Amino acid sequence: MRAVALAGALRPLRLSGLLAAALVAGWMPPAPAGASDRDAELAAAEEAGAQWMFDYDFHAAERHYAEVGDRYPDHPSGPYHLAAVLWTRVAQRGNGMQGSSLRNDRYFSQTQRAEASPEEADAFAGHIAEARRRADLLLAANRDDAEALYYRGATEALESGWAVVVDRAWFRAARTMRRAVGRLRRLQEIAPEVRDAWAVPGAWDYGIATLPRALRMLAFLIGMRGDRERGLEGVRITADEGRVAKWGALWTWALLMQREGRDEEALDAATRLRRQFPRNPDFALEEIGVLTALEEYARARELAIRFHGRRDAGFGNYHLAAPGLIEVRLGEALLFEERWEDAVTVLSRGLEAGPDEVTEATLLFRRGNAKDGAGLHGQAGTDYSRVMRSGADPILGEWAEQLRRNPWPDGAPPGSHPGDPAARK
């Protein structure tokens, strides 16, 4: 029964593992009054590192956190954040930082996955081991050391995130995440003022609570209990009041608000992230995606055109955006405005950009939608057939099969419009 329940719990485990991003941010406000000089210096170092990491200036972030690790050899922050930078870089490379593909569970059925080189995998494991060693030494001296307990739980959450996104090792990730949640809940009890401790248990609570009823019962029998509202509140607390995990928790909040259909709140979070980290392409793409879900097509189109211009001008780290993805976003805005021919032109341009197989399938599917809208069902069927043959996104394949029989938009399958509640399941 334990194995069955854990297998059924893949959905919350996957969500919680991905939302280990709620811990990868290294943000700290100025140290509180009365803090030691060392605490103040570490806080400033963490704040600087977060800006580099979430702006996707990965090399600068790695150099910075290596210096932090050397400067504070007894503190887990340096090696922990080096692991976090690696997690973020690998996840981003495999489209694992795009809320638009994570608001439902399609990400895990797609063929594309985050791939780490052997050198990256070894480096991640080494940083995790060193962060754990430093935290354990502090806990051996004081089992109630709040900062050490936080980093011990955060390290396990990050391990779980790697197991989910890179290794797809669900059961190992489940065991590791449960340990992380246990440590962070204990920290909530002994030091409730440490607001970073709330995000990961919150994501875990939310994931279990949103399981189908039968699977919730199985999870309950082995001691896995969820609470939707408590889960959301935990993530919100860290997003609003956290120190180490503030920005990652805000990204998580944007994702959960999309899953909940609270798109105005998701838009507010995405806009805040885009403004704080202007060099990060994924936050800008996220804002465009939420605007499309809100049917704010003109605003989405305006931001997409601005993104396109910035990328072509070499702005920030926009070159890290997956090829063809901005054409997906702009094409969708045009599609839902029923500007069929313009959408076909933009989506065709995306197909010429050398996209990965999942982005290519999305471009083909949306181009088929636009051709259907223009009354070119025969041509649309050719695009739908290519989506089905690729197998890159099984959900898109199912939708494409339906649309070959019943053209878009009247035959649009449930979930195929980003504003459709079924798209969040």
Count Cβ atoms within 10 A of the Cβ of residue 300 and give its class: 0-12 exposed, 13-18 middle, 19 or more buried: buried
Domain ranges of the chain: 2-260, 265-424
Cα(269)–Cα(38) distance, rounded to whole angstroms?
32
| Residue 325, both tokens | 């993805």
Q: What predicted TM-score, i.e. pTM, was given to this entire model? A: 0.89
**pLDDT of the residue at 34:** 46
The tens digit of pLDDT for each residue in 255-301 reads 899 989 899 999 999 999 999 999 999 999 999 999 999 999 999 99
Confidence bin at 210 (pLDDT 50/70/90)? confident
Cα(316)–Cα(276) distance, rounded to whole angstroms?
13
| Residue 367, both tokens | 């181009």
- DSSP letter at 409 equals T
95: left (phi over 0), alpha (psi -120 to 50) or beta: left
The tens digit of pLDDT for each residue in 300-342 reads 999 999 999 999 999 999 999 999 999 999 999 999 999 999 9
Query: Between these two residues, 391 and 16, which has the higher pLDDT value?
Result: 391
The tens digit of pLDDT for each residue in 325-384 reads 999 999 999 999 999 999 999 999 999 999 999 999 999 999 999 999 999 999 999 999
Cα(390)–Cα(369) distance, rounded to whole angstroms?
17
**pLDDT of the residue at 8:** 38
Share of the chain above pLDDT 70, in %: 84
| Residue 342, both tokens | 């313009």
Distance of CA 246 to the CA centre of its chain: 14
Cα(389)–Cα(397) distance, rounded to whole angstroms?
8
**pLDDT of the residue at 101:** 52
The tens digit of pLDDT for each residue in 43-94 reads 788 888 889 999 999 999 999 999 999 999 999 999 999 999 999 999 899 8
C-alpha distances in Å from residue 163, one per residue of 95, 198, 201, 281, 415: 16, 21, 18, 25, 28
403, pLDDT greater than 90: yes
The residue-averaged pLDDT of 404-409 equals: 95
22, pLDDT greater than 60: no
How much is the CA Rg of the chain, to the nearest whole Å? Answer: 22
Confidence bin at 9 (pLDDT 50/70/90)? very low
Please write down the HEC assignment for all residues of 371-387: HHHCCCHHHHHHHHHHH
CATH number of 265-424: 1.25.40.10
C-alpha distances in Å from residue 395, one per residue of 107, 144, 162, 365, 405: 10, 47, 25, 11, 16
**pLDDT of the residue at 173:** 86
The tens digit of pLDDT for each residue in 217-250 reads 555 555 567 789 999 999 999 999 988 789 989 9
